[in-house]
Amino acid sequence: MAFKKLCNILTVSLLVASSPLLADQTGDAKFAIAIHGGAGTIEKSRMTPEKERAYRAKLEEAINAGYAVLEKGGASLDAVVTAINILEDSPLFNAGKGAVFTYDGTHELDASIMDGRNRQAGAVAGVKRIANPINLARMVMEDSPFVMLSGAGAESFAESRGVPFVDNKHFDTEQRREQLKKAREKLDRENQQEKDYRAAVEALPVPFRMGTVGAVALDKQGNLAAGTSTGGMTAKRFGRIGDSPVIGAGTFADNRSCAVSATGHGEYFIRYNVAADICARVQYQGKSVGEAASEVIDDVLLPVGGTGGVIVLDTKGNIALTFNTKGMYRGSRTSSTPLSVAIFGDN
């Protein structure tokens, strides 16, 4: 009951159209990259000019680094990992350094990657000591017979492949600690009233909950790739895993349709199989990436209270950067369109 009420509130209060800017660029690009750094209640009025500049600069750096890989003829998988590593290493985003805290004050990271040539995929969930989880996800794809590894097992796999560990404190930032404090205060209060953890989590303001980074790329060989990396949702508990490491939910790539990386309230993205649904609409219904993304994000997710966004790319270099929240850190560059970065609904 409380949950349904909340969904209605969300539906009304989050009526922010998908960004018209940057959406559905066309131009038969030979290679292209798009990235995101999370969606949520991101408003100009809440951000200092310095902070905004820092975000834009880091997004540009990540796009340009990925673009350089593609320009030299490198693989889309390499471009995706290159861009994501820059965002993981930045404390600004909820992935790698700067990841959100769990309810217990630690960090548990999730990531996944997919190769559009052959639907090979790799994912890790709940890792605590891996500085760049997207790299480990790629190792799972390329160097193991598995698709998804979790927790201590994923770290044993990392150890067996010589991946260095970092202390969990490596991911700490003051800002995220502050968010956890506020989230916990609210959660504990709500819990007492409602004795319902789910409703309490739902009641947290979006900025306390979310963020994630991701990239999609098309290389000169015509191959798509997608990757996503996240700290998950603030104050998550009980080994909670979101959509980011779930192939088909948070990440998907298939040369026959499109590449997608998602960000948002993971439980909805899992239940609605968001990334795969968008690509299915492109493949089977002949929808453009912009139409397919908007149908799923605006028409399917929003009415049930699912907030977030996606970046989508097809083999012609068409891009959709679509979200139903106030903003999404995002940007793109293609062989036929210049570097472009945006944060808010309108720029």
Min. distance of Cβ 40 from ligand ASP in angstroms?
Answer: 7
Q: Does 102 engage in binding with ligand ASP (CB under 6 A)?
A: no
Q: Does 232 engage in binding with ligand ASP (CB under 6 A)?
A: yes
Binding ligand ASP (rule: CB under 6 A), the pick from 35, 79, 149, 210 is 210
The span from the CA of 122 to the CA of 126, in Å, is 14
For 149-196, where are the alpha helices, taking DSSP H only? 151-160, 174-194
Q: Does 317 engage in binding with ligand ASP (CB under 6 A)?
A: no
Kindly indicate which of the ranges 63-71, 195-203, 239-247, 273-281 contains the residues binding ligand ASP, using the contact rule CB under 6 A.
239-247
Q: Which of residues 15-54 bind ligand ASP (CB under 6 A)?
A: 38
Q: Does 309 engage in binding with ligand ASP (CB under 6 A)?
A: no
The span from the CA of 221 to the CA of 74, in Å, is 9
Nearer to ligand ASP, 38 or 122 (CB): 38
Min. distance of Cβ 85 from ligand ASP in angstroms?
Answer: 18
The span from the CA of 305 to the CA of 13, in Å, is 10
Kindly indicate which of the ranges 22-30, 73-81, 161-169, 258-266 contains the residues binding ligand ASP, using the contact rule CB under 6 A.
258-266
Min. distance of Cβ 231 from ligand ASP in angstroms?
Answer: 8
Binding ligand ASP (rule: CB under 6 A), the pick from 82, 102, 230, 288 is 230
Min. distance of Cβ 117 from ligand ASP in angstroms?
Answer: 25
Is residue 60 within 8 Å of 342, Cβ to Cβ? Answer: no
Considering CB under 6 A, how many residues would be counted as binding ligand ASP? 14
The span from the CA of 243 to the CA of 226, in Å, is 14
Q: Does 305 engage in binding with ligand ASP (CB under 6 A)?
A: no
Kindly indicate which of the ranges 15-23, 148-156, 236-244, 326-334 contains the residues binding ligand ASP, using the contact rule CB under 6 A.
236-244
The span from the CA of 3 to the CA of 175, in Å, is 29
Sequence length of the chain is 347
Binding ligand ASP (rule: CB under 6 A), the pick from 115, 243, 277, 314 is 243
Q: Does 242 engage in binding with ligand ASP (CB under 6 A)?
A: yes
Whether 212 is a known active-site residue: answer yes
The span from the CA of 202 to the CA of 332, in Å, is 31
Q: Does 255 engage in binding with ligand ASP (CB under 6 A)?
A: no
Look at the alpha carbons of 247, 281, 268, 66 in this order and tell me if their dihedral is positive or negative. positive
Q: Does 108 engage in binding with ligand ASP (CB under 6 A)?
A: no
Is residue 322 within 8 Å of 12, Cβ to Cβ? Answer: no
Which value, to the nearest 10 degrees, does the dihedral of the CA atoms of residues 6, 201, 96, 278 take?
-30
Binding ligand ASP (rule: CB under 6 A), the pick from 212, 229, 294, 325 is 212
Binding ligand ASP (rule: CB under 6 A), the pick from 211, 227, 248, 345 is 211
Give me the half-sphere count of Cα atoms (radius 13 Å) on the Cβ side of residue 227. Answer: 35
Burial class (CB in 10 A: 0-12, 13-18, 19+), 274: buried
At 343 the three-state DSSP class reads strand
Strand order in the sheet with 109-115: 148-150, 120-127, 109-115, 224-230, 213-218, 32-40, 327-334, 337-344
The amino acid occupying position 55 is Y
Q: Which of residues 263-302 bind ligand ASP (CB under 6 A)?
A: 263-264, 266
- Identified catalytic residue from 102, 212, 230, 315: 212
Nearer to ligand ASP, 116 or 245 (CB): 245
Q: Which residues contact ligand ASP by CB under 6 A? A: 38, 210-212, 230, 232-233, 242-244, 250, 263-264, 266
Q: Would you name the residues annotated as active-site residues?
A: 212
